[in-house]
Every structure is written in structure tokens, then in C-alpha cells.
Structure 1
């Protein structure tokens, strides 16, 4: 029998997953009194990650805490509401300490990945970020993602690592987004102010009424709150990814989570990842131009769910760029599919009809063997 857990939330199974994103906020990493970072709660979360890595699962950590770490380094104190430039300087100072904190818990290499929302809005940079994260996971590294606060404009002020975690979850095709917070989960009201607040074990749909239950930030070191966590869950849900909220300060809850037992709130996506991905692909705007393929490639796309390789391409027109959404045409010119192109039109023209092994020789670089990967393609 597993040990009992003292929690207001009922036990439920963790949704099945092979790849997950774990978001850890500043309130779980910052020492009391502005003293930098502490391993007090991070250790338990690292053990949760390690237990799952040993089972063959993959984890990406999205971690706050750089500003809190930097605040302990400066000889003079910078207040939490300081000017943006001062807080960006704190983030620059604290990044090394933040990565060092996580690295101490793992024998495998920890890789720092700094992103801004602008990186993820731009399709070409989005594809580059996705390729880098997937390669790091394939190499057995543990990616630790944070906002690139030193160059961001609004993101640091907003303290929006919750939504960044949701974006990263969609970026790496995660099965679930875990958000470690400093309360047990979602309640009908803020339990720190309303003793009558009731725990919500599951949320099937994130309506405005549910969002209204969220209070503000409960921490002096983090600028997010339950509202941003629910907004992140909504964003993840749009990509078909469930979100789990749990108390990262409660060692029993974290240990139970490593055993597949959740004491917290599960927010259901409402649609599958595949359905969400295909919906986006079907409705994303097209760039001007198209790729024409031969009969063999058309048959492979339509009948076998294959990726589009350069060998099956006969022609390309338009001036689209890497990351643009383009149509794929059959030999007779009829559109049969659309997808995100890994290469610009000019580059595709140079590798059309060639074997995948020739891509690097011809172009001097390559972004993978597929011109359009099957995960980025939908049939018309």
C-alpha cells in the first residue's frame, strides 16, 4: 500500500505521458529574505524528474528564479518593483546560479535554453527552437528553459513563465504540463483569504467562471499567480495538452506524483493533441507559392502518411521562407496537402529530386531530412 498523503485534494491517477514539461516558479526556488536560491524544494522536484527519466520518459524544465538569484549577488539591494533594466541586470547575474542549482541534482548534462515569446511567434525561430530542444532530448540532456529576460521588453515585467511553459509544451509535443506551485491546487476561491474555498480535483473546461476563481500572486518573489497558471492551462489545452497543478512545497505530494498519484488539480485539454495540431494546420494562412511532387511522392503522402522528402519534388514556385505554410500539389497541379516548410523556396529548388543525404552537400547546411515533416503536414 502506498503511504497516505495529507491533502485536501482527492487522489487521482496522473495522466499517462512519455514527455512532459515541468514549470517551477520563483516561490519554490528563492530563499527567504532575498538570499538567492535554495535547494529546499528544488531537490524533491529534481527527484521527481530523475525518477521519470529512469523510466525512459523525457522532461523539459521551465524554471524561474534568475532574478531572485541575481538579487543576492548585487552589493546593493534592487527592489522587486525596480525599473525593467535593473531587473534585467539581475536576471543576467542570476542565470548561471539558476542553471548551477539544477545541474547539482543530475548526473546528466543540464542545458540552458533562453527564449522569449518573440522567438516562438516567429515561425523560423520557432522551428529552430523546436529542433534544438528535440536534439537535446535525443542526446539525453535535460533542457532547462527560461525567458531571455536580459533582452525581453514586456515578458519579464509580466512574469509570464507559466505561459512560456505552455508554449514550450506545445513546442516539444509534450503529453502533459506539470505546474509546481506553492498551494495545493485550484480552489473555488483563494484559500488564503476564504476559509470556505473548496478544492477542485478536475476541471473539464476552462470557462470564464473558472478563471474568475483565481486570485493574484501569492509570492513576493514571483509575479505570476493562479490566473496566469489557468491561462497557461488554456493555452496548453488548445494544443491538446492536459495541465496538472500541484504543491511543489509538499514533499509527500511530490513523491506521490513520482508514483503516478496526483493530489492536485487536473485541467483537461478537451481535445487530443493530434486534433489540435491538425486544426491549426488546416486553418493557418498559406504563403504564396507551392511545391509540386511526382506521383510516387503524392501516393506516399496520401496513402502512407509519409513526410515530404526532396527526392519526390519536381518543381517549386513562389518566394516563401522557412517556416511558412505552403501547399503541396500533385503532378496535375491539384492541391493535396499543406504544411510547414523546413526550407525556403530557393533552397528547395536546389535540392529538388535529390536524395536526403545530398542536402548538406548542395546547401552547405540542413534542417533535417524532410522538406515538410509528417507532423507538420495535413492532407486536403
Structure 2
């Protein structure tokens, strides 16, 4: 048995808590929700639950369900769902139908479900994040299967997760999962886009996802909110940083999650990194959008990358953007290379005043300070998958 086989066969044996993300292409058709797919998914996840595993389901499909209800009732509506207000309205109509169908499908297997609608703005504050975690923990203690979706009706473009691949990755840190299964319309990951490259080869295992050029593999980034393989691989890269393996596999047709995990010919297994980040750093880096950039000189970049140092004002060469104290910011070199992200102890205006200054000069410029670091190493994540 090969190393890859051992990894696959041991996943279910080791996993005690799994997040399963299912995309619209799996649970919907051109006319609305796909009852066969929902029933199949409920049966298989119920089997995982019966085996003693905690299961969290992150699902798309509310907009498609809303479209179906609108069409069935001959409501007046636009010809497309491209604008945000229309999609949010369709989601508001469809969310209840989506949960109704899931609830009935899981109830047939003796399972209780709970709806959790999350927003990025709701999780960016640590206290709210911990409250959501406590709620999720209690549900899982009771043997309930939480069904998570983005709260589309109140999300705004600047704060929305953008796609449920991202939301699924965020849930890993929220619940402390040790396995991420991403059900999609594709038969795993290929080294090139198979739609444009007939010679594309499947990738059964990805050992070091950080070494891959995801944009070139996926023919560029997909648009926010459209999903696609780029967003799945970006989510897998985030999961790898948290020490969680990701299994990307087709959920179309007669899919079987357990059988796929036990087969070396199904899907793609993305292995976790050996050196993982803390759940706090993971939350800090990915629950908000960077509000600006701090550009550092080569000496500071080397200290950050090789010595694990905090970023001091003396190493800052320039500041981009307008942000307040506590904002999440990019940390870049002057050449534009992204080193990571971090939480700034100073506002953009303050950083402009103290950039390039020695630590003993700061108090004379800004007054008494409780800290010297521009970004503390405990509030920084290098090589972030933004």
C-alpha cells in the first residue's frame, strides 16, 4: 500500500469532526433543488454521524431554490439574477425551502438539523466568533447536524464570504474540524483546466498546495461569488495551514463519499502542512479583508521570514490605504511581493509619521505608547492565502 493510499484509508478512521461543503451544481438542477441529491447526501452524512463523527454541512442552493419558487408562482421578476438585490431576494425566498428539504431528508434517517446563517461581519469580532463556536459546540454535543449557509439577505459586497468554499474553510476553525470534504461538479483537481486542455492530468494527491500556482492552473481567478476550482483550492490551502486535509471530489450522480475516500482513483486529497498556524491566527487572517498595505524594506522582510520577528516601524518604507488601529493589513515588499497579513497597532496616519524611525523615537512623535511593534508576530500570518 502506498503512502497516498494510507492517507486516504486513514482519513475516516482518524477524523472525529468533518465539515462537508456542497455546491449548487451538486444539489440543484436547471429547474431548482435536486431532491435525489439532497436525499443521497442526507443518507451518507447520517451514516457518518451514526459512526460517531460530528458532521457540519455547508451548503449552497438558496438562490436556486428561490428561483424555482418564483417561477412556480409566476411572480414578477427580472430575466436574470446578476444584481445583488435580486439574488438576495431570491435567497430570502429559497432559504426556507432549502432547509425544509434538508430537514425532511435528514429526519428520514433519524437526524435533527439546525440552520446557521453566518456573515463575515458577524465573525470578524472575536466575541461573536466565540459565541457562534459555543452554539455550534452545543448542537454537536446534542448530535444535531448544523446546516450552514451565508446570510445572503444582509451581506454586503465588501464583507460577504463570496463563495461557500471560503465559508466552508472558515467553519473548520470555527468548529475545530479535522477533515474538509468539498463536493463539487468536477472529478477532483487537474494540473490544468481540462475544459481548455485535453491533455490535463488528474492529481490524486497534492502534497504541498502552497507550492502550486493556483491562478495558472485554474486559468486565472474566478469572480467573487462564482466559485470554481480556484476558490476550492484557495480554501484547501487555508485548510492545510490549519492542519486539516481537504478531499475534493465529485458529488454528481450516484456519488458515495465513503467509497470515494477509500478509492485511490476518486477525487483529490490535499494534504495538510506540517507546520500549522494557531486557530487565532487563522481567524485573524481570514475573517476580514485587508484595509491597506504596509511596505517593508528587505531587512525587515528577512527578519519576518527567517527570524520570526515582529514588524517594527524602522523597517517600514511606505504605507498604502487609509485604516485605523487594529485593522488587518497586507505586509508587502517595496517590489509588491505579498509576505502575509497582520493586525496593525497603528493607524495609517500614525505609521506614515513613524515609518523608518527607531523605537526610542516613537514616544516623542506619538506620545507615550504601550507597545513598540507596528505588527506583533502573534498577530501576523505569513504566506496567507488571500
Counterpart among 61, 68, 76 of residue 65 in structure 1 = 61
What's the TM-score, normalizing by structure 1?
Answer: 0.64
Structure 1 residue aligned with 2:157: 154
1:13 is aligned to 2:9 = yes
- How large is the Cα RMSD of the aligned pairs? 3.0
Counterpart among 181, 192, 197 of residue 195 in structure 2 = 192
1:240-298 C-alpha deviation (Å, 9 max, x unpaired): 111110000142543513768771111112136xx4227839x99xxxxxxxxxxxxxx
Q: Is the 8 A contact 1:22 1:179 kept in 2?
A: yes
Q: CA deviation at 1:159?
A: 3.9
1:56 is aligned to 2:55 = no
Structure 1 residue aligned with 2:103: 103
Q: CA deviation at 1:148?
A: 0.5
Give 5+ residue unaligned stretches, structure 2: 286-386
- Tell me, in whole angstroms, the C-alpha distance in 1 between the residues paired with 2:249 and 2:158: 24
- Tell me, in whole angstroms, the C-alpha distance in 1 between the residues paired with 2:179 and 2:67: 32
Taking structure 1 as reference, are residues 102 and 235 closer, same or farther at Cα in structure 2, changes over 3 Å only? same
Taking structure 1 as reference, are residues 71 and 238 closer, same or farther at Cα in structure 2, changes over 3 Å only? same
- Tell me, in whole angstroms, the C-alpha distance in 2 between the residues paired with 1:178 and 1:119: 24
Taking structure 1 as reference, are residues 129 and 252 closer, same or farther at Cα in structure 2, changes over 3 Å only? closer
- Tell me, in whole angstroms, the C-alpha distance in 2 between the residues paired with 1:27 and 1:264: 16
Structure 2 residue aligned with 1:277: 278
- Tell me, in whole angstroms, the C-alpha distance in 1 between the residues paired with 2:219 and 2:43: 30
Structure 2 residue aligned with 1:92: 92
- 1:23 aligned counterpart, secondary structure: strand
Q: Which moved more, 1:253-262 or 1:231-240?
A: 253-262
Taking structure 1 as reference, are residues 19 and 39 closer, same or farther at Cα in structure 2, changes over 3 Å only? same
- 1:229 aligned counterpart, secondary structure: helix
Q: CA deviation at 1:29?
A: 1.4
1:39-83 C-alpha deviation (Å, 9 max, x unpaired): 232232222211111111010000010011111122234455432
Structure 2 residue aligned with 1:213: 217
Taking structure 1 as reference, are residues 105 and 87 closer, same or farther at Cα in structure 2, changes over 3 Å only? same
- Tell me, in whole angstroms, the C-alpha distance in 2 between the residues paired with 1:77 and 1:67: 13
Counterpart among 128, 131, 138 of residue 128 in structure 1 = 131
Structure 2 residue aligned with 1:23: 21
Q: CA deviation at 1:193?
A: 2.6
Question: How many residues in Structure 1 have an aligned counterpart in Structure 2?
Answer: 269
- Tell me, in whole angstroms, the C-alpha distance in 2 between the residues paired with 1:91 and 1:102: 16
- Tell me, in whole angstroms, the C-alpha distance in 2 between the residues paired with 1:79 and 1:155: 25
- 1:112 aligned counterpart, secondary structure: strand
What's the TM-score, normalizing by structure 2?
Answer: 0.63
- Tell me, in whole angstroms, the C-alpha distance in 1 between the residues paired with 2:191 and 2:267: 13
- 1:195 aligned counterpart, secondary structure: coil
- Tell me, in whole angstroms, the C-alpha distance in 2 between the residues paired with 1:200 and 1:132: 37
- Tell me, in whole angstroms, the C-alpha distance in 1 between the residues paired with 2:172 and 2:158: 18
Taking structure 1 as reference, are residues 265 and 14 closer, same or farther at Cα in structure 2, changes over 3 Å only? farther
Q: Is the 8 A contact 2:188 2:268 kept in 1?
A: yes
- Tell me, in whole angstroms, the C-alpha distance in 2 between the residues paired with 1:14 and 1:250: 26
- 2:193 aligned counterpart, secondary structure: coil
Q: CA deviation at 1:134?
A: 0.6
1:241 is aligned to 2:220 = no
Q: Is the 8 A contact 1:62 1:144 kept in 2?
A: yes
Q: Is the 8 A contact 1:109 1:142 kept in 2?
A: yes
- Tell me, in whole angstroms, the C-alpha distance in 2 between the residues paired with 1:232 and 1:143: 20
Q: Is the 8 A contact 2:9 2:262 kept in 1?
A: no
- Tell me, in whole angstroms, the C-alpha distance in 1 between the residues paired with 2:80 and 2:49: 35
Q: Is the 8 A contact 2:44 2:257 kept in 1?
A: yes
Q: Is the 8 A contact 2:119 2:161 kept in 1?
A: no
- Tell me, in whole angstroms, the C-alpha distance in 2 between the residues paired with 1:257 and 1:242: 15
- Tell me, in whole angstroms, the C-alpha distance in 1 between the residues paired with 2:139 and 2:102: 16
Q: Is the 8 A contact 1:179 1:246 kept in 2?
A: yes
- 1:40 aligned counterpart, secondary structure: helix
1:175 is aligned to 2:178 = yes
